Amino acid sequence: LSSVRGEGIIPPAWNVSAIRAGRQIPGTPGIPRQSRRRKSLAIAYEAGQGEGAEPRTPWEPPGWREQLERIREMRRSRDAPVDEMGVQRCYDSNAPPQVMRYQVLLALMLSSQTKDQVTSAAMLRLRRRGLTVDSVLQMDDETLGQIIYPVGFWRNKVKYIKQTTAILKQKYGGDIPSTVEELVQLPGVGPKMAHLAMHIAWDSVAGIAVDTHVHRISNRLKWVKKETKYPEETRVALEEWLPRDLWKEINWLLVGFGQQTCLPVNPRCSQCLNQDICPAAKRL
């Protein structure tokens, strides 16, 4: 409903013609006869609504389905580092569920700015010592550092792992939180890790996990309306249009694709099935 020049509330559009004709509208006793001097009324509609308005079509990048299918074809062999040594391969699948989830979270914390091969090796060394909340709390910082070295920023990760593990023990009974909101409150845990923890540890899809590969490739393929500078911007942009049933798959697809073909520097465009339909291929 819209107010016109402060003279009251105008009823729905289907009553406007009767008002213009000066007739009383049944069921609306408080509406006066329209002045003869006023020839028209300005009716305000919400954007995209009103008589004759075309329904709005949600934005999506042109050709994205074909691009996605070609990436699936290139990833069919599942032989990228993420497939063989990614976080989903780093935990003990025979451990109790609570221990398994803790190991998933620890692997994610170690994986930040670290190659999958290095993360996998560090997790193997930790698991050989019995990787549980209690075992890590009993371990001194120097020992933990020696075990996880040479993961990226290993000194900071020692501190974050000890702090987060203490919180899990005190607040969550040794388990990990089951929501993204709680996960990102833990020291050393960012949005990408939180979404992957939900995917892998809880088998729940709360959002898209966007790392540097997903961020880079989404911008190269123009899967965002406008260029994004940070992974979190990319996540929000992707979630606006990408069908929800693809949210879990897209991280795995693009990470492996980024490791093997769409490299950060000197991407292998000549080997890419999307070369003829990739907006960035002509410029690289």
Between CA 155 and CA 153 the distance in angstroms is: 6
Beta bridge partners of 105: none
Contact by Cβ (8 Å): 129, 147: yes
Give the residue carrying structure tokens 């398994």. Answer: 100
- Among residues 35, 48, 43, 53, the alpha carbon closest in space to that of 13 is found at 43
* 159 part of the active site: no
Burial call 99-122: b when 16+ CB within 10 Å, e when fewer: bbbbbbbbbbbbbbebebebbbbb
Q: Which residues contact 190 (CB under 8 A, 6 or more apart)?
A: 112, 184
Query: Using the 8-state DSSP alphabet, how is residue 25 labeled?
Result: P
| Total length of the chain | 284
Selection from 240, 238, 190 nearest residue 218 by Cα: 238
Catalytic, out of 192, 222, 225, 282: 192
Spell out the residues 6+ positions from residue 57 whose beta carbon is closer than 8 angstroms to its own.
none
The neighbour count for residue 184, using CB atoms within 10 Å, is 16
Placement of tokens 């803790």 in the chain: 102
> Hey, which residues are catalytic here?
192
